[in-house]
Structure 1
Amino acid sequence: MNTSPIQFATLNREHPQLTDKALIDFSNGLEVIGDHIRVRERNNSSFWARLLSQANGESALRQQAIDQNITESLKTVSTWLQYLQNQQIQSDLAIAKVANKLSETRQGVMLLSNKHNALQQEVAQLLLAMDGMDTKYTQLSARLEQVDCGRLASQQIDAVFDKWQAGRLNHYPVLIRLFLVFDELYWGDFGNYCRQSGLQHREIQRLNQQVRDKALIQLKYDWVNSQLPSIAYAWQTDTHFHLQSLATEHREMIAYLTDTAAHKTMPILWIINQLASNTTNTKLLPNINVPIILTAQNTINRFSFDFEARYKHE
């Protein structure tokens, strides 16, 4: 068992989707400014509430707390925007989601600017930073209209499967290798093409079949090479055992990349999250949608079903 610490730069180089997911998770957390503004608007909307707050001194204390929190929130968002502008975001999905979140945040900031003169300078600087991200999003939209998305998707398919065939995922359990391949495709050019054109598009269906065929070929090879049962593989116990032999950072990465999997619609991804998160041999949460045994062909079908549900969710 290798317990040596893994550098984040190494994880990010081997699994580029990791940083893009982290950016989206961070942007989804930018709700604090909106919450503060909603509190202020709710408290100012009622004459009786304002009168009572002034009488008991509650208004001044609450206002002071809100102003302090808003100031800290502005600093956090500003720092985050500076980071985004200095980094090369690889995933179009990440940029699009960040842009949507910035649009919501901008509305809140403009409302804040109109109601709080003391923060006008900070708000102006923040809006300037947002304009920089808007420019990136505009450039992204122009690029998506010009490039041959199908060609880029095909190139990514070849690159990801070359990595698998070259043995660069061999330190992971067999089924986790398949997950990482599908996950990297989801976050990259192949996933962007699927989201743009839709899963029912004829070219998408052709590429999806190509992915399934390539995955089955390589999975069968790994299956035999790892001496897994060909007819009835009790995969959960074996996968859990091998996950516990991974470096902590690798196991935690698997848990992180599957942390949004739905219980019913993505049962395979959900149970992988449970297996990676559970560091003991305690009983896992029940899920009747999770298969007990698998074969190579059934594994491909199951993973494809889960990732199709993931695309539809997006």
Structure 2
Amino acid sequence: MSAPDLNDPGSSAIAPEVSAYCPHLTDKMLTDCANGLLVARQKTTYQAEHSDLLSRCWAAITGTGATRQQQINDHLVDGLEAAVGWLTDLTLRQSRSDLAVSALGETVERLTEKLGQTRTALVALDRARQDIAARMADLTQEVRRLDFKDRADDQRTLVMAAWEAGRFNHVPLLTQIFIVFDQLYWGDFGHYCRAHPERADGLRRIAIEEARRISRAALGMGGRDRDRVISVHAWLSIQDHAAAPDLLQAIACVGDWARAEEEPLVWTAARFSSGTEFPIHLPRLLTSEQVAMRMNEEALTRPQWRSSASGSNQDAQETQS
């Protein structure tokens, strides 16, 4: 490969000396500038080496000195023009880079603002999710309570229907009422009343009213008849036929938690065949409404520590569910 013509101001090849020190110069403008400066340096070096009087006179006569000076000037001008063009192009590129960086900065700023808005929206969404979860938990609990209430109401309906159909007629009427409320206590009805005492008043009032209605019918009272006062002896004597001894013992065992001082009506109803005297706190004359209300109070609100162990375990399991 031939060496570049350093006398040719239009040559774009890089001189080996320039390429050795500046291997990264590949742009034509930089190449022209570097070549021009190198040629100018060579020309001025040649002039310095031939500066004697004879050489200067010969150069003036032949015109080579003026030609050489003109070549130096041309190379310097070409180098400066190339440098100016390169700097102009570099400035334009720098301007475009600055504009791109500025646009990128604005984009980043907008993205940061959007990110802040997104973070705020996510926080609000998480709060809404927590509120919905809490509401769903409340609704789920309420649905379970309503289902529990329906089961309690169903049990009350079945027990009252069995009583009204004469299932318990082989024991006195007062004992029948105790058996009914005792079954309600150990069933879903009683579990619901203990788990939700603040909402059980309605169910208990319905049970009282049904017990009053069925007992009035057993006493021969019509729907519009005024409630009569009945003695305790009469309450314990109204029955279709005598009960078996095993049944009497079973009823006494079921009501053995009652105390004569605290639950006199339950105590009397469970021990009607023992021949013991009535408790001193037991009223001797009672209407059907009074019997139903007192039996509801004594049988459904009995102290838990005096209930049987199996019943307590059942209540605990129902409450957990």
TM class, shorter-length: 0.3 to 0.5
- Which of these two proteins has the greater Rg computed from alpha carbons? 2
TM-score calculated relative to the size of structure 2: 0.44
| TM-score in terms of structure 1 length | 0.45
